[in-house]
Amino acid sequence: MTLERKTVLDLIAPKEDGTVEVRMQKQTVLDGEVLQAQFHRTIVDPLGDVDEQFGLVNTHLAQMGFGPVSTAEIGVVRDTAAAVRAFPDVAARIAAIKARREAEEAEGNATADAGEPT
């Protein structure tokens, strides 16, 4: 009897703003039969790095006693994100998000600098 706790990719849902929602199944398997399955989710930010995100996800899964998302499955998410983000409308939305975040960061830095004694 072989008991295994593994993680499998279940759903990739790209969104129009470049966000990629990913659902995985954490499975407890006995001799090839799934005894229990629970969903685990992550969202890759439009400006986020898929590999970096899944590094964190796999660390979290390991802490819970489950195997990592495979390199091949991470590659599928990476390829899906790249394909969706290449559409002109999506690329424009991502550029707008990036510009807004940079402006907010600059404003926050200016506010912090204004509060410092000279």
Average pLDDT over residues 77-92: 96
The answer to whether position 10 is within a domain reads: yes
Q: What is the DSSP string of 39-69?
A: EEEEEE-TT--HHHHHHHHHHHHHHTT-PPP
pLDDT of residue 95: 96
pLDDT of residue 117: 61
The answer to whether position 69 is within a domain reads: yes
The answer to whether position 83 is within a domain reads: yes
pLDDT of residue 111: 76
Total domains, the chain: 1
| pLDDT value at 118 more than 60 | no
Find out whether 78 and 54 touch, Cβ atoms under 8 Å: no
The answer to whether position 86 is within a domain reads: yes
The answer to whether position 118 is within a domain reads: no
Lowest mean pLDDT, pick from 11-20, 34-43, 109-118: 109-118
pLDDT of residue 22: 98
| pLDDT value at 98 more than 80 | yes
Beta bridge partners of 82: none
Please compute, for residue 4, the number of CA atoms within 13 A of its CA located in the half-sphere on the CB side: 12
Find the domain containing 81 and state its range: 3-113
pTM, to two decimals: 0.85
Question: What DSSP designation does 107 have?
Answer: H
| pLDDT value at 99 more than 80 | yes
| pLDDT value at 109 more than 90 | no
The answer to whether position 109 is within a domain reads: yes
Question: pLDDT tens-digit profile of 52-70?
Answer: 999 999 999 999 999 999 9
pLDDT of residue 69: 98
